[in-house]
Amino acid sequence: MQAKSVKAHLDFLRYSLNEDSPVPDSVSDIDWDELLLFGRKQAIAGVLYHGLARMGDSAHKPSSATILKWYATYAAIKKANIQVYRDASALTTGLYRDFLVKSCVLKGQGNALMYPDPYMRTSGDIDIWCQIRPEASTDAGQTDVQTQRKHYFWTVDPEITKLIKIARRQDNKGEIGYHHIELNVMKTPVELHFFPSFMGNIVHEKRLRRWFDDHKDEQFRNMVQLPDGLGTICIPTNSFNVVFQLSHLMHHFFFEGIGLRQMIDYYYLLRRRLTPDEKQQVLGTLRHTGMLKFASAVMYIMRDVLGLDDDFLFVKPNERIGRLLLSEIIHSGNFGFYDERYAFRGLSTYRQYFVETYRNLHFALDFPSETVWGRPVSRWWHAFYKWKLRRAAEAGK
């Protein structure tokens, strides 16, 4: 894609996100079919449609036929969101009613609620963090207080083993991953998470996992209503999300690539505004878990690309690394699906390992803890831990 087209597309995205901004001058350079393709590759077509709907009588507004094509895309996104909202609510209720499993929906529909139109975000699968609690409750089990328990990292948590058994009773073909198990019993694919996210560096991951455990109580109590009476779910608090979703961005950046949809999620999250105390706590956590430099690159995307005011940022943007991140975003598309430089899909685990390691060496000078002595080591630990999970699940049959 030519630099002029990329600039015009990003200008229009920035306009779409900022309700008070005027139509950008570069709109005259936009090919609307090309922009729609860009929106689909980045999974942000609904956001761009939100901007197009605000253009009013602009001389550069596309033809009625083109607008209809855009509207059809938005309508499909909205229909998918309605289904995912319903499934997320039914899953939340069913997990506790049938198995006494408390849950918290990560990313996905929780993020969609932060958008000005809760139906304009391109939906995906349902990522839901689960915790088995034996206590009974009269309100779906989401408000009782968790008791302090052992922190597991090197060994398999017995609660994870129980969750795997529950999932396998519903779907005996669900794949066991390092931090989740797949569950395909609804219209929307589901991943039941043992913990929210992980890092490429084992030391940093252990610290992050401890932080997740220390702050998990509040996440399972933070219940919200879905739009138009579609149900209720629990979602993470804003201060938790700022750390968790940054770890998710960082993981996917070094694994297969990250797109603008995830950056826009983070944009709307930061617009909810952290307090000064929360910002200081976030900074301390990011330093402790090795995410601060990556955060400075994300802040560049937030401010210089998406137009977020400095007041919403929690660390000074790093332009050099931010430009590197932006280049990868444009090349990769949503979760790296459109990156023609590196093909992860369809590769064996071992070939994927070598492609990932080669790709990440390009970032070694800025992120050595992830790319040099992080992921090349942790990938073997992840494989060994997944073997332990499968073995523990089989032993209890």
Per-residue pLDDT tens digits for 128-161: 999 986 544 444 455 544 445 566 788 888 899 9
pLDDT at 335: 55
Q: Say how far apart CA 395 and CA 177 lie, in whole Å.
A: 18
* Confidence band of 338 (pLDDT split at 50, 70, 90): low
pLDDT at 342: 61
pLDDT at 339: 59
pLDDT at 353: 72
pLDDT at 137: 45
**Rounded average pLDDT over 347-361:** 75
**Helices (H), ranges, 100-188:** 108-112, 158-170
More confident residue, 151 or 43: 43
Hey, how many other C-beta atoms are within 10 angstroms of the C-beta on 92? Answer: 25
Q: Which residues contact 185 (CB under 8 A, 6 or more apart)?
A: 170, 171
Residue 295 contacts residue 316 (beta carbons within 8 Å): no
**Rounded average pLDDT over 288-309:** 97
Position 270 pLDDT exceeds 50 = yes
Count, residues in the chain: 397
**Rounded average pLDDT over 361-390:** 88
Position 229 pLDDT exceeds 70 = yes
Q: Say how far apart CA 287 and CA 299 lie, in whole Å.
A: 15
Instruction: Please tell me the pTM assigned to this model.
Output: 0.91
* Confidence band of 334 (pLDDT split at 50, 70, 90): low
The amino acid at residue 50 is: H
pLDDT at 350: 67
Hey, how many other C-beta atoms are within 10 angstroms of the C-beta on 79? Answer: 12
**Rounded average pLDDT over 265-271:** 98
Mean pLDDT rounded to a whole number for the chain: 90
Torsion of CA 291, 334, 262, 182, to 10 degrees: -90
Q: Say how far apart CA 138 and CA 386 lie, in whole Å.
A: 35
Residue 96 contacts residue 140 (beta carbons within 8 Å): yes
**Rounded average pLDDT over 57-80:** 94
* Confidence band of 118 (pLDDT split at 50, 70, 90): very high
Q: Which of 328, 295, 331 is nearest to 314 (CA)?
A: 295
pLDDT at 147: 46
**Rounded average pLDDT over 278-294:** 97
pLDDT at 261: 96
The amino acid at residue 263 is: M
Position 189 pLDDT exceeds 70 = yes
* Confidence band of 266 (pLDDT split at 50, 70, 90): very high
More confident residue, 354 or 241: 241
Position 7 pLDDT exceeds 60 = yes
Q: Say how far apart CA 148 and CA 100 lie, in whole Å.
A: 18
**Rounded average pLDDT over 107-136:** 90
More confident residue, 328 or 45: 45
